Structure formats: structure tokens, C-alpha cells
């Protein structure tokens, strides 16, 4: 892929992310579940935007305890974030896919979190 095409793709993704963030706001009753992914790893955070972006829970698959394919690790990540949310008395969240398509690892995290008991 050429450099110009890569920059255009990143700019489009950033615009989608900003458009979503204008609509999705995490509150104390219903915080925001953010999924961010790189080529190797996936990360999830539960954030309360009303308190200045306070991170209530965070999980990453960079720890060597998680095994399997990237999609399998993302499902496990969703289950872990749901477990952490339960410990902090969080039952409902707003899902923020970060400008990414609801497909692959992003979808796997969402399904894992739903299996773990989160409602969104």
C-alpha cells in the first residue's frame, strides 16, 4: 500500500472516530466501553467521561496469560472486562468501537463482554 493511501485511510478512520465520540458519552450510570486495537494487540477500557475521562477498568491482551488467535484473545478480553465491571458494580455500558467496523476483533470483544454479563 502506498504512503498516500495509508494516510488517507488513517484520516478516514480518525474522522469516523471523532463523529462517534461526538455522540457517545460515558456517564457514571452508563460508562463507555472503548475498544482499541493495533496490528498485534487489543485493549479495552471502561471510561467515565463526566469525571474527566476517568478510567474505571482496563484490560489488555499484551499479558502472556492470554493464548489463542487474535480473535479468540479478543473474546477472552471481553469476558475479563465484563468480570472487572461486575466487581465495580457496572452492569450497563455504551460501546465505543473507535471508528473501526463492528467486525472481527471488535465484534469478538463485544460478544465476550455480553457473554460476561455486560448490557449494551
CATH number at residue 87: 3.30.420.100
Q: Encode pLDDT of 49-92 as tens digits.
A: 999 889 999 999 987 777 889 999 999 999 999 999 999 999 99
Distance CA 92, CA 100 (A): 21
More confident site: 65 or 24: 24
Give the predicted TM-score (pTM) of the model: 0.85
| Residue 39 clears pLDDT 70, i.e. is over it | yes
Domain count, the chain: 1
Check if the beta carbon of residue 95 is closer than 8 Å to that of residue 33: yes
Domain that holds residue 8: 3-116
Strand positions, DSSP E, 1-120: 32-37, 42-48, 54-60, 94-96
What is the band of 36 on the pLDDT scale with cuts at 50, 70, 90?
very high
Q: Which residue has the cell 471481553?
A: 78
- Cβ burial, residue 112 (10 Å; 0-12/13-18/19+): buried
Q: Residue 8 — very low, low, confident or very high, per pLDDT cuts 50/70/90? A: very high
How many helices and strands (H and E) does the chain possess?
3, 4
Is residue 42 within 8 Å of residue 77, measured between CB atoms? Answer: yes
Distances (CA, A) of 117 to 12, 101, 105: 33, 23, 18
Amino acid at each position: 500500500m502506498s504512503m498516500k493511501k495509508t494516510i488517507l485511510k488513517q484520516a478516514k478512520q480518525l474522522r469516523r472516530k471523532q463523529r462517534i465520540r461526538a455522540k457517545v458519552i460515558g456517564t457514571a450510570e452508563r460508562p463507555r466501553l472503548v475498544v482499541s486495537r493495533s496490528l498485534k494487540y487489543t485493549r479495552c477500557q471502561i471510561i467515565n467521561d463526566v469525571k474527566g475521562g476517568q478510567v474505571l477498568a482496563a484490560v489488555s491482551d499484551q499479558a502472556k496469560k492470554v493464548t489463542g488467535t487474535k480473535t479468540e484473545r479478543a473474546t477472552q478480553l471481553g469476558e475479563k472486562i465484563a468480570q472487572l465491571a461486575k466487581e465495580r458494580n457496572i452492569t450497563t455500558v455504551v460501546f465505543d468501537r473507535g471508528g473501526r467496523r463492528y467486525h472481527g476483533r471488535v465484534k469478538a470483544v463485544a460478544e465476550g463482554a455480553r457473554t460476561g454479563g455486560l448490557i449494551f
